[in-house]
């Protein structure tokens, strides 16, 4: 990895650590330039081609999920861009190899997600749709996307939408869409959604303080009811992790 690419990766990890006040372990997907990266995205996404970093991420996440014995411990997976494709592949493998009890420790948060699917099957014997913490294998998945982000538009913003008459699709998770552009992780996502004030995340910003506008065609009724007259930050679980915090539930 050349010095410039190393600095970008290090800056991303450092800002994540500063934002959430936790130890961050990174898996780097090396770039070959925008043209070859797009080709690789299409091959990975459409043919489920796994690269070395996919296998590395799978091994690391699986080890953390199976190593922790406290059911209250959480393993947080944060992915960006092409990492959404690779993260989706990692999840598919984990769902096949890891018990439901261990999978329930995993939480997933994506930014500018390029994937065409994000699986999260219903837990065996689960019937209560009103309680997402017990209904699906992974209790919390959230996707953050800029409306004008080219990558998000051919990924999460396209595939998370249900076709007319479709009850469910293979892209599971809440989608929070910002009316802005840009694809860079730090500059266009963390800086606008988790804006720093000195060495801490500010208690608000224009995106997180904005009222939720719910797309009723693509939202389960129970979430729409909870989201009524709420702000984005009041419905964002990832927001609760800022500055070393913990979600209330």
pLDDT tier, 223 (very low <50, low <70, confident <90, very high otherwise): low
**Which residues are CB-contacts of 60 (< 8 A; sequence separation ≥ 6)?**
25, 27
Residue 7 above 60 pLDDT?
Answer: no
CA pair distance 75, 139, nearest whole angstrom? 12
Query: What percent of the chain has pLDDT above 70?
Result: 87
Strand runs (DSSP E) across the chain, as ranges? Answer: 75-80, 106-111, 140-148, 174-181, 196-197, 200-201
CA pair distance 246, 140, nearest whole angstrom? 14
Per-residue pLDDT tens for 150-190? 999 999 999 998 777 676 778 999 999 999 999 999 999 99
**Which residues are CB-contacts of 201 (< 8 A; sequence separation ≥ 6)?**
19, 194, 195, 242, 243
Q: How many CB atoms lie within 10 A of CB 190?
A: 21
Residue 89 above 90 pLDDT?
Answer: yes
Mean pLDDT of all residues in 16-38:
87
**Distances 216 to 38, 57, 82 between C-alpha atoms, Å:** 32, 35, 28
Residue 1 has a pLDDT of: 46
What integer best gives the mean pLDDT of the chain?
87
CA pair distance 155, 85, nearest whole angstrom? 9
Per-residue pLDDT tens for 105-122? 999 999 999 999 999 998
Residue 6 above 60 pLDDT?
Answer: no
Mean pLDDT of all residues in 197-221:
84
Domain spans of the chain, in order of start = 3-244
Considering the entire predicted model, what is its pTM? 0.90
* Residue 155, phi then psi, degrees to nearest 5: -120, -110
Q: Are 115 and 85 in contact (CB under 8 A)?
A: yes
Per-residue pLDDT tens for 189-199? 999 999 999 99
pLDDT tier, 214 (very low <50, low <70, confident <90, very high otherwise): confident
**Which residues are CB-contacts of 207 (< 8 A; sequence separation ≥ 6)?**
178, 180, 192, 193, 232
């Amino acid at each position: 990895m050349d010095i410039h690419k190393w600095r970008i990766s290090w800056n991303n990890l450092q800002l994540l650590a500063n934002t959430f006040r936790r130890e961050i372990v990174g898996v780097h997907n090396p770039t070959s330039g925008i043209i070859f990266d797009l080709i690789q995205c299409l091959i990975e996404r459409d043919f489920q081609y796994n690269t070395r970093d996919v296998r590395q991420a799978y091994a690391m996440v699986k080890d953390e999920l199976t190593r922790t014995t406290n059911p209250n411990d959480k393993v947080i997976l944060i992915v960006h861009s092409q990492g959404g494709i690779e993260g989706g592949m990692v999840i598919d493998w984990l769902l096949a190899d890891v018990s439901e009890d261990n999978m329930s420790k995993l939480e997933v948060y994506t930014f500018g997600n390029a994937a065409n699917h994000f699986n999260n099957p219903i837990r065996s014997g689960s019937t209560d749709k009103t309680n997402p913490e017990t209904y699906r294998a992974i209790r919390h998945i959230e996707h953050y996307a800029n409306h004008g982000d080219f990558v998000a538009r051919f990924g999460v913003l396209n595939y998370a939408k249900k076709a007319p008459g479709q009850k469910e699709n293979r892209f599971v998770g809440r989608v929070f869409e910002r009316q802005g552009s840009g694809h860079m992780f730090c500059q266009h996502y963390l800086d606008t959604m988790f804006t720093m004030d000195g060495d801490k995340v500010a208690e608000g910003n224009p995106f997180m303080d904005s009222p939720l506008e719910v797309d009723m065609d693509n939202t389960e009724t129970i979430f729409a009811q909870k989201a009524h007259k709420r702000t984005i930050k009041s419905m964002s679980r990832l927001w609760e992790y800022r500055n070393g915090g913990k979600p209330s539930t």
